[in-house]
């Protein structure tokens, strides 16, 4: 298999992930859409497919995720970062909410965004990955 055929396959996969991510966003399925769009973006970035990256970035923004700055990883908002740090040391949503003067439901919302953006699936995984994510 030649490089061109492998790259073409990767581009096709990334474009399919982008399209399906757009479809999921239209259905209101933000988290699965964000997961697909992040995967598509990584592929597109590796391939240097700039026109498709712009589309993917606009969809990520629509999903509530800021596009990466200067080609770096996606970044957490200040509020998400505060929630992530508190959760990583073992605080409950109620404790984090009291600390940040927000409701526990708001903490859960931010935590959902954090999971989607970082690819984490649990508090334990987030705590393990947080030092790497902040580097």
Task: Write out the residue range of the structural domain in which residue 9 sits.
Answer: 3-62
Pair 57, 88 in one domain: no
Q: What is the CATH number of the domain that holds 119?
A: 1.10.10.10
Q: How many residues does the chain have?
A: 135
* pLDDT tens profile 103-135: 999 999 889 888 877 778 889 988 888 887 665
Question: Which stretches within 1-135 are classed as H helix?
Answer: 3-26, 30-47, 50-62, 78-88, 93-100, 104-118, 123-134
Q: How many CB atoms lie within 10 A of CB 68?
A: 16
Quick one: tokens of 13?
């996969």
* pLDDT tens profile 43-81: 888 888 888 888 888 888 877 776 555 544 556 788 888
Distances (CA, A) of 57 to 6, 72, 110: 23, 13, 20
Domain count, the chain: 2
């Amino acid at each position: 298999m030649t490089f061109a055929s492998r790259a073409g396959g990767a581009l096709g996969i990334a474009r399919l992930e982008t399209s399906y991510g757009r479809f999921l966003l239209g259905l209101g399925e933000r988290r699965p859409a964000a997961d697909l769009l992040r995967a598509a973006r990584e592929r597109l970035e590796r391939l240097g497919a700039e026109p498709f990256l712009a589309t993917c970035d606009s969809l990520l923004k629509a999903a509530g995720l800021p596009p990466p700055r200067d080609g770096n990883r996606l970044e957490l908002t200040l509020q998400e970062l505060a929630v992530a740090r508190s959760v990583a040391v073992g605080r409950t949503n109620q404790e984090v909410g009291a600390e940040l003067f927000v409701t526990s439901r708001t903490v859960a919302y931010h935590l959902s965004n954090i999971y989607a953006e970082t690819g984490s699936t649990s508090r334990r995984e987030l705590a393990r990955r947080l030092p790497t994510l902040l580097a």
